[in-house]
Amino acid sequence: MIDLAEKVLKGDVRAIARAISWIENNRPEKENLIDALFPHCGNAQVWGITGPPGAGKSTLLDKIIEIERRKQKKVAVIAVDPSSPFSGGAILGDRLRMQSHATDEGVFIRSMASRGHLGGVAQATSDAIKVLDAAGFDLIAIETIGVGQTEIEVVGLSDIVLLVLVPGLGDEIQAMKAGVMEIGDIFIVNKKDRDGALKLRAEIEYVLGIQFADYPEKMKPIVMTAASMNEGIEELLTVTDDYFLKISMNRSLQDKRKTRLKSEIRQIFTQKVSAHVKQKYDFENRLDEWVDAVYKKKKRPYSLINEKINLFLRECNWL
Amino acid sequence: MKKIIRILIAKPGLDGHDRGAKYVARALKDAGYEVIYTGIRQTPEAIVKTAIQEDVDFVGLSLLSGAHNELFPKVARLLREQQADDIIVLGGGVIPDADIPQLKASGIETIFTPGTPITDVIQFIEANRERVSR
């Protein structure tokens, strides 16, 4: 295991790929692996790229990689696509649009299936970011699955969120709603050559204008692009550079990263506690028994669980 | 929990007929595998780099142009050179029976020719599940 961590730190591609698989498959060794890599994390910029299906996230990313590579930056991509709720399988097709970088040593692209996780990314995404960060990539881009209105988990994983929108999906009331529309740090109107692109821009401006009426300095940038024609990408990257500079200077980057750690630690804690308690009760095997009792109305759901939990706490001498 | 098998479906060379590859990709998704699809006109080098980055268990190559004798063995050779020959390579497409023995000798584990039921492909993958559970 330590061996694998050392190889990852040296940037060995096979080791990086294998490490991500360990995380995806939730192998017990992953804990030591992540702990071994963790001291080396924190150097990469993490970008979240999100937006509805077909907005052009992968194509945009393809062009971003091209320009970042000219600046000699090493770029890694985690591209998340949905797993089938029926078979558990997945078609991971995002890298199709980025395949021109397949033989570039400075680019690492990994497709990741959501495996039932609902927030627009996979359970494994946050630890996979750590692997890539420790391996020395300068920029790590997380491409979410095509999102609807509530898949916003990427905001907790990234330093900056690029929200990619396209004309034709609704009026400004859609843009005012809670959820995805609130998480963009930079708004991108892609496919700007299409009808309705200027209208969409005006709608976003209108909505953000209301939101930031009292703090115009916090107004979020809107960039028009046509990724497939390679238009607007340089401008976008100037905007992201400025944004990154700004959040580094005013310490909101540090705050974001600390918040990220907080939710990770909370999650690990909750998972571990829950796993221990479940094991103690042989939960998965006895669940049917409990369901049966509740179904037949011999037990009530809250009293049953409270009874079991109290029993557990008493055994631990906590009560 | 059973390990989720990852498979790269790739089309090397200049042949743009991808209906078969897409059919197989889709069917393998329905069988519960994670399928990475890279599209047409891939070089063997790009396929091998992709297979390694994606840490796949199998690479399925599809070719209908007749260049299989050149391109399939090259993928297998490049994988060996990268010490990644634990990845199992299979081929499919319009491949004459006479070419199959030499393809197998070059490191392609099996060849599926036109008309093969998809269940044969799934059976092959399941029969090799132990080998890839590392």
A87, A108, A115 member nearest B30 (Cβ): A87
B38, B49, B83 member nearest A96 (Cβ): B38
Compute the nearest-CA separation of B38 from chain A (Å): 4
| Residues 6+ away with beta carbon under 8 Å from A80 | A94, A111, A112, A113, A114, A120, A121, A122, A125, A142, A143, A144, A145
Torsion angle, alpha carbons of A246, A249, A250, A253, to 10: 80
Compute the nearest-CA separation of B69 from chain A (Å): 23
> In this predicted model, which residue has the larger pLDDT, A316 or A63?
A63
CA distance A22 to A7: 14
A89, A110, A111 member nearest B31 (Cβ): A89
- In order of their start, the domains of chain A are 40-250 (3.40.50.300), 264-315 (no CATH)
CA distance B46 to B10: 10
- In order of their start, the domains of chain B are 6-132 (3.40.50.280)
* Beta carbons of B111 and B100 less than 8 angstroms apart: yes
CA distance A54 to A5: 36
The pairs formed by A224-229 with CB atoms below 8 angstroms and a separation of 24 or more are A224/A188, A224/A189, A224/A192, A224/A197, A225/A56, A225/A60, A225/A188, A225/A189, A225/A190, A225/A192, A226/A190, A226/A191, A226/A192, A226/A193, A227/A56, A227/A59, A227/A60, A227/A62, A227/A63, A227/A190, A227/A191, A228/A56, A228/A59, A229/A193
Instruction: Kindly determine whether residue B35 and residue A110, on different chains, have CB atoms separated by under 8 Å.
Output: no
What is the pLDDT at residue A308?
Answer: 85
Closest CA relative to residue B67, chosen from B86, B42, B49, B89: B42
What is the pLDDT at residue A77?
Answer: 98
What is the pLDDT at residue A275?
Answer: 87
CA distance A106 to A76: 8
Phi and psi dihedrals of A200, rounded to 5? -60, -45
Residue A235 — left, alpha, or beta (φ > 0 → left; ψ -120 to 50 → alpha)? alpha
pLDDT digits (tens, 9 = 90+) for A67-105: 999 999 999 999 999 999 999 999 999 999 999 999 999
**Average pLDDT rounded to a whole number, residues A153-172:** 88
Phi and psi dihedrals of A187, rounded to 5? -95, 130
Tokens at B74, concatenated: 């090259």
* Beta carbons of A237 and A75 less than 8 angstroms apart: no
Strands A75-81 and A107-113 turn out to be parallel
Confidence of residue B33 (pLDDT cuts 50, 70, 90): very high
Instruction: Kindly determine whether residue B38 and residue A83, on different chains, have CB atoms separated by under 8 Å.
Output: no
* Beta carbons of A269 and A258 less than 8 angstroms apart: no
Mutate which: A4, A95, A104, vs B, most B CBs within 10 A = A95
pLDDT digits (tens, 9 = 90+) for B45-93: 999 999 999 999 999 999 999 999 999 999 999 999 999 999 999 999 9
* Beta carbons of A309 and A273 less than 8 angstroms apart: no
pLDDT digits (tens, 9 = 90+) for B112-123: 999 999 999 999
* Beta carbons of B35 and B61 less than 8 angstroms apart: no
Answering whether pTM is above 0.95, one says no
The gap between the terminal CA atoms of chain B, to the nearest Å, is 14
Closest CA relative to residue A60, chosen from A169, A203, A162: A162
**Residue A294 above 70 pLDDT?**
yes
Per-position b or e across A60-77, b if 16+ CB within 10 A of its CB: bbbbbbbebbeeebbbbb
**Residue A49 above 90 pLDDT?**
yes
CA distance B14 to A275: 51
* Beta carbons of B111 and B91 less than 8 angstroms apart: yes
What is the pLDDT at residue B51?
Answer: 97
pLDDT digits (tens, 9 = 90+) for B3-16: 899 999 999 999 88
CA distance A14 to B1: 24
A25, A96, A110 member nearest B54 (Cβ): A110
Residue A107 burial (CB count, 10 A) = 22
**Residue A271 above 70 pLDDT?**
yes
Compute the nearest-CA separation of A27 from chain B (Å): 10
* Beta carbons of A291 and A259 less than 8 angstroms apart: no
| Residues 6+ away with beta carbon under 8 Å from B48 | B75, B78, B79, B82, B84
**Interface membership of B28 toward A (CB under 8 Å):** yes
Closest CA relative to residue A153, chosen from A179, A121, A182, A128: A121
**Interface membership of B31 toward A (CB under 8 Å):** yes
Strands B34-37 and B6-10 turn out to be parallel
**Residue A175 above 90 pLDDT?**
no
Confidence of residue A240 (pLDDT cuts 50, 70, 90): very high
How much is the mean pLDDT over chain A? 92
Minimal-distance CA residue of chain A relative to B84 = A14
